[in-house]
Structure 1
Amino acid sequence: MSKSIAVIGAGWAGCAAAVELAAAGHKITLYESSRTLGGRARAVDINSTRLDNGQHILLGAYSETLRILQQVGVDAEKTLLRLPLQIRYPENSDGMDFVAPRLPAPFHLIAALLRSKGLAGADKMALARFSSAARWMDWRMNDDCSVSELLQRFDQTERLIKLMWQPLCIAALNTPPERASAQIFLNVLRDSLGARRVASDMLIPRVDLTALFPQQAAAFVQRYDGAIKLGASVQKIVQNDNHWIVTQDKTEDEMYDAIVVATSASQAATLLSDVTTSTEIPPFEYEPITTCYLQYPSDTKLDIPFYALNDDPETQCWGQFVFDRGQLDATQNGLFAVVVSASTDAIELGHEALSAAIAAQLANTLQMPQLATPEWSRVITEKRATFSCTPALQRPQEQTEFPHLVLAGDYLASDYPATLESAVRSGVKAAKLLSASLTSEKFASI
Structure 2
Amino acid sequence: MSGGRVVVVGGGLAGITAALDCLEAGFSVRLLEARPRLGGATYSFTRGDLVVDTGQHVLLRCYTSYLRLLERLGVGHGVRLQRRFRVPVLAPGVKPAELTRWNLPAPAHLAPALLGYRRLGLAERARLARTALAMRGLDPADPALDEISFGQWLRDRGETPRSVDALWGLLGVAALNAEPENASMALAAKVFRTGVLDEAASCDIGITQLPLAELHGEPALRVLRAAGADIRLRCKARAIRRTEEGFEIPIREPAGETALPADHVVVATPHPVAAQLLADLPVAGAERWAGLSAAPIVNVHAHFDRRVTDLELAAVLDSPVQWVFDRTRVAGAERGQYLAVSQSAASRELEMRTEEIRENFVPALRELFPAARRARLLDFFVTREPSATFRQAPGTAALRPAAATEVPGLVLAGAWTATGWPDTTEGAVRSGALAAREVRQQRTRRGVEVTA
Please give the TM-score of this superposition, normalised by the length of structure 2. 0.90
Letter in 2 for 1:402: V
Structure 2 residue aligned with 1:307, among 304, 314, 329?
A: 314
Structure 1 residue aligned with 2:389, among 386, 391, 399?
A: 386
The 2-side partners of 1:68 and 1:389 are apart by 25
SS of corresponding position for 1:433: helix
Letter in 2 for 1:320: Q
Letter in 2 for 1:85: F
Match of 2:295 in 1: 287
Cα–Cα, structure 1 residues 347 and 277, in superposed 2: closer, same or farther, change >3 Å? closer
Matches within 5 A, 1:250-399: 250-281=256-287, 282-283=289-290, 284-297=292-305, 299-311=306-318, 317-326=319-328, 328=330, 331=333, 334-370=337-373, 373-393=376-396, 394=398, 395-399=400-404
The 1-side partners of 2:138 and 2:214 are apart by 40
SS of corresponding position for 1:178: helix
Q: 137-146 vs 331-340, which deviates more?
A: 137-146
User: How much does 1:119 deviate?
Assistant: 2.8
Structure 1 residue aligned with 2:180, among 177, 182, 188?
A: 177
- Asked whether 1:433 is paired with 2:438, we answer yes
The 2-side partners of 1:128 and 1:423 are apart by 31
Give yes or no for contact 2:54–2:383 (8 Å, CA) kept in 1: yes
The 1-side partners of 2:5 and 2:106 are apart by 46
Cα–Cα, structure 1 residues 371 and 318, in superposed 2: closer, same or farther, change >3 Å? farther
The 1-side partners of 2:449 and 2:83 are apart by 50
Letter in 1 for 2:80: L
- Across the aligned residues of Structure 1 and Structure 2, the Cα RMSD in angstroms comes to 2.3
The 1-side partners of 2:372 and 2:69 are apart by 44
Cα–Cα, structure 1 residues 254 and 126, in superposed 2: closer, same or farther, change >3 Å? same
Match of 2:156 in 1: 153
User: How much does 1:253 deviate?
Assistant: 1.6
The 1-side partners of 2:423 and 2:66 are apart by 14
Cα–Cα, structure 1 residues 378 and 158, in superposed 2: closer, same or farther, change >3 Å? same
Identical-pair percentage: 28
The 1-side partners of 2:447 and 2:45 are apart by 43
Deviations 1:271-290 (A, max 9, x none): 10022243525212211100
- Asked whether 1:189 is paired with 2:192, we answer yes
Deviations 1:174-229 (A, max 9, x none): 01111111111011111011222221111111112232133322222212211211
User: How much does 1:101 deviate?
Assistant: 3.4
Match of 2:60 in 1: 59
The 1-side partners of 2:283 and 2:76 are apart by 43
Give yes or no for contact 1:102–1:197 (8 Å, CA) kept in 2: yes
Letter in 2 for 1:82: Q
Cα–Cα, structure 1 residues 361 and 399, in superposed 2: closer, same or farther, change >3 Å? same
User: How much does 1:366 deviate?
Assistant: 2.1
Give yes or no for contact 1:27–1:224 (8 Å, CA) kept in 2: no
Cα–Cα, structure 1 residues 369 and 59, in superposed 2: closer, same or farther, change >3 Å? closer
Moved over 6 A (4+): none
Letter in 2 for 1:439: T
The 2-side partners of 1:41 and 1:445 are apart by 35
Give yes or no for contact 2:91–2:317 (8 Å, CA) kept in 1: no
The 1-side partners of 2:172 and 2:123 are apart by 21
Please give the TM-score of this superposition, normalised by the length of structure 1. 0.92
SS of corresponding position for 1:126: helix
Give yes or no for contact 2:138–2:189 (8 Å, CA) kept in 1: no
Cα–Cα, structure 1 residues 352 and 413, in superposed 2: closer, same or farther, change >3 Å? same
Cα–Cα, structure 1 residues 135 and 369, in superposed 2: closer, same or farther, change >3 Å? closer
Cα–Cα, structure 1 residues 328 and 111, in superposed 2: closer, same or farther, change >3 Å? farther
Match of 2:412 in 1: 407
User: How much does 1:372 deviate?
Assistant: 7.5
Deviations 1:387-429 (A, max 9, x none): 1111121211211112211111111113222111111111110
The 1-side partners of 2:405 and 2:420 are apart by 20
Give yes or no for contact 1:87–1:164 (8 Å, CA) kept in 2: no
Give yes or no for contact 1:36–1:43 (8 Å, CA) kept in 2: no
Give yes or no for contact 1:6–1:256 (8 Å, CA) kept in 2: yes
- Asked whether 1:96 is paired with 2:104, we answer no
SS of corresponding position for 1:252: strand
Q: 262-271 vs 215-224, which deviates more?
A: 215-224
User: How much does 1:58 deviate?
Assistant: 0.7
State the aligned residue count: 439
User: How much does 1:25 deviate?
Assistant: 1.7
User: How much does 1:104 deviate?
Assistant: 3.9
Match of 1:108 in 2: 109
Give yes or no for contact 1:18–1:30 (8 Å, CA) kept in 2: yes
Cα–Cα, structure 1 residues 132 and 319, in superposed 2: closer, same or farther, change >3 Å? same
Deviations 1:298-352 (A, max 9, x none): x4142221111225xxxxx432011111365664751100011111112222112
User: How much does 1:238 deviate?
Assistant: 1.5
Give yes or no for contact 1:96–1:119 (8 Å, CA) kept in 2: no
The 1-side partners of 2:381 and 2:443 are apart by 47
For structure 1, the 5+ residue unaligned runs are 312-316
Letter in 2 for 1:181: S
Q: 246-255 vs 230-239, which deviates more?
A: 246-255
The 1-side partners of 2:298 and 2:208 are apart by 18
Letter in 2 for 1:280: A
Structure 1 residue aligned with 2:170, among 154, 167, 170?
A: 167
User: How much does 1:135 deviate?
Assistant: 2.2
